[in-house]
Structure 1
Amino acid sequence: MRLNGEISIANVDDDDDGDGERKENELGLIRSPTPTAPPTRLVVGYALTSKKRQSFLQPKLLALARSKGILFIAVDVKQPLSDQGPFDVVLHKLAGKEWSQMIEDYGQKNPNVTVLDPPDAIEHVNNRQSMLEDVADLNLPDYYGNSVIGFWALKLLIGRVTVPRQLVFTTDPSSIPHEVTKEGLKLPLVAKPLVVDGSAKSHELFLAYDKVSLAKLEPPLVLQEFVNHGGVLFKVYIIGEFIKVVRRFSLPDVCKRELSKIAGVFPFPRVSCASASADGADLDPKVAELPPSPLLEMLARELRLRLGLQLFNVDIIREYGTRDLYYIIDINYFPGYGKMPDYEHTFTEFLLSLEQSKYEKVLVA
């Protein structure tokens, strides 16, 4: 039976054994064709924007998923979810209160279906003020220092994670210079739209070199102190318990001498795209060194719990001249996994782990 919206990977004739010919054995009997994929055991309904579909549902992912018994089915957002499927997992990244209410109601009525991820949790990280609040409260070394693995965790971590100082402005740009002076924020400042709604505008970033020019900015926005980091950021992809770190070229450092000569607010392009990969580049070892794995594992585990999300990425920088001081500057829900090396293997394993987890819970019950 073909489910509505099924993505077809290949059409295989019933009489085809793989080379297009029927085969007979020694007894003259027709040999059954070798199956091209295991029976479907996991149905994933997806509701994604066209841009996200193209970047995420790439042929290599669909083919690998099909070979492992995972089927991706397009959700018709104009029809009730309860009339579609049945689904084992619902994967979504759509904006709007109507959709959020629909997926929330569906999750409550179908507790056995895994919804990736809860709309209210997604909304939390779509605001650049609230997204970093959980990070600011972490204080990882102290937190884990009180646990049973405290001493050894501290020995392994060799670092601490915090967030840059920032201010939020929702109205009256003329007040920005005064408030920045009042709060003692240091120039230069990175200006980011307050809300992350998936639009190109929500990713428009500016670097402000003087306070007077700040009045030209358009609220609502977040002003974040720029931290010199050697021109490299670490993009940490998190898919459930899976973690993958890649290096990306970022903005170059700004010295005080340059700061005194530059005035104005300047837009800068998105610096974390795949084409800006710094992996394999000839970098200063002190800049290129990845954050310690124990630190990233603890950070990912704690953020999964606090944020209530399984699909997100964290942009991390290391303050230049230090070995162990890291700043989280952004968190993104359901990021561009298609840019992550071998993402198709990681994501299919993640989906299978969800099904295994359900099975284990049934056995325990």
Structure 2
Amino acid sequence: MSRRRVGFCLSDKKRRQINLVAFAELCASHSVEVVEIDLSQPLESQGPFAVIVHKLSDVIVKAEYDSQSQQLLDNFQGYVSTHPHTVLLDPLPAMSQLLDRFASYRIMSQLQNSLRDWRISSPPYLEISTSDLSVIQQDVESKGLSFPLICKTRVAHGSCSHDMSLIFSMAGLSEAHPPCVLQSFVNHGAVLHKVFVVGEDHFTVERPSLKNFPPGPYERKTIFFNSHQVSKPESCSHLTALDEKVPRLPPPSGEAMVALVRELRAELGMALFGVDVIVNINTHTLTIIDINIFPGYEGVPQFFSSLLSHIESVLDHQELEVPQATCPPAPSAPQTDL
């Protein structure tokens, strides 16, 4: 059987989103076989796989409280452990840490040191695990967070993970529901730069984003919004409409984006991820506000060719690393004395 078999373990929604059927046709024209993995069936009978591309976010999150999801995850991990030469895009531990904003925001904060020369930063943030308002207020003050604050769920997956709020005062912190993350809001001219990474390639796409707000604190009702709806390409929301004439900010420099992606790729050990970046209107510094697992790659027409190129490079490297099965040498004929 061909060693260039690639399994895709994705939800039905994700398969449709990336148009897996069309991608499989492209792969077939390059002698790469795509197999859609059914996680409810034994993987052994569906393999072997040289590479498995997956997004098991749903399963990983549900495994915390659902025994059936835990069993599916155990079965998948069992197959991977008994087939060490199968390459995962991406490793489960790396993906798991990005499902937790507590973990991913620590990564973002740590990267500031290595990216300081490129004037890349991340906003101050606070992990909230308590409902005690007085404790939250003290922590916000001691950490030096500035209002407004963006409040995001701790779990960075699922429809609820896009439900966020903008809090303008200490009193408004009563509407922060733990576990969650509070992040200082940075005015950025209502432009979000979504960076899509595929192996060694990356692509930047502009999207609408939240408009500028005066620095707080001040009395204003908390704004609740869905970030996915606000930042859709076709989004037309009052939250993205600038109230004043603001000069358009220059886009992030290509060199800075290369440095950012290089550091993230090394830190995460991943090939398929996205980064949300904004440009601070006051300092013009690049600001990382989120990292995403295996995003949708909307607006990236080169996604198919880049993904195929990366898979082929993994397969080529694998074929060099894993020796092909060879027949044992024929025994030499016995020598006779003359």
Name the TM-score class by shorter chain: 0.7 to 0.9
Per-residue deviation, 1:338: 4.3
- The answer to whether 1:73 aligns with 2:73 is no
SS at match of 1:191: strand
Q: Quick one: structure 1 residues 196 and 260, their matched pair in 2 at CA, closer, same or farther if it must change by over 3 Å?
A: closer
Per-residue deviation, 1:64: 2.1
SS at match of 1:196: coil
Instruction: Indicate conservation of the 8 Å contact 2:115/2:121, yes or no.
Output: no
- The answer to whether 1:48 aligns with 2:10 is yes
Per-residue deviation, 1:232: 0.7
Q: Quick one: structure 1 residues 179 and 294, their matched pair in 2 at CA, closer, same or farther if it must change by over 3 Å?
A: same
The code of the aligned residue for 1:85 comes to G
Q: State the 4+ residue runs in structure 1 displaced beyond 6 angstroms.
A: none
- Paired with 1:81 and 1:63, the residues of 2 have a C-alpha distance of 23
- Paired with 2:235 and 2:204, the residues of 1 have a C-alpha distance of 14
SS at match of 2:8: strand
Q: Quick one: structure 1 residues 260 and 189, their matched pair in 2 at CA, closer, same or farther if it must change by over 3 Å?
A: closer
Aligned to 1:35: none
- For residue 115 of structure 1, the aligned residue among 80, 83, 88 is 88
Unaligned runs of 5+ residues in structure 1 are 2-39, 143-153, 278-282
- The answer to whether 1:328 aligns with 2:288 is yes
Aligned to 1:128: 101
Aligned to 1:343: 303
Alignment of 1:243-262 (within 5 A): 243-256=202-215, 262=219
Q: Quick one: structure 1 residues 184 and 136, their matched pair in 2 at CA, closer, same or farther if it must change by over 3 Å?
A: closer
- For residue 221 of structure 2, the aligned residue among 250, 255, 264 is 264
Instruction: Indicate conservation of the 8 Å contact 1:140/1:299, yes or no.
Output: no
SS at match of 1:73: strand
Per-residue deviation, 1:133: 1.8
Per-residue deviation, 1:84: 1.7
The code of the aligned residue for 1:308 comes to G
- For residue 160 of structure 2, the aligned residue among 201, 213, 221 is 201
Task: Give CA deviations for 1:293-334 in whole Å, capped at 9, x if unaligned.
Answer: 2222222222122112111001011111333x1111000111
- The answer to whether 1:306 aligns with 2:267 is yes
Aligned to 2:175: 216
- For residue 102 of structure 1, the aligned residue among 75, 94, 97 is 75
Instruction: Indicate conservation of the 8 Å contact 1:249/1:276, yes or no.
Output: yes
Unaligned runs of 5+ residues in structure 2 are 64-69, 237-244, 324-338
Count, aligned residues: 300
Instruction: Indicate conservation of the 8 Å contact 1:192/1:205, yes or no.
Output: yes
Instruction: Indicate conservation of the 8 Å contact 2:166/2:224, yes or no.
Output: yes
- Paired with 1:174 and 1:235, the residues of 2 have a C-alpha distance of 34
Instruction: Indicate conservation of the 8 Å contact 2:51/2:315, yes or no.
Output: no
Scaled by the length of structure 2, the TM-score of the pair is 0.80
Alignment of 1:163-178 (within 5 A): 163-175=122-134, 176-178=136-138
Scaled by the length of structure 1, the TM-score of the pair is 0.75
Instruction: Indicate conservation of the 8 Å contact 2:6/2:50, yes or no.
Output: yes
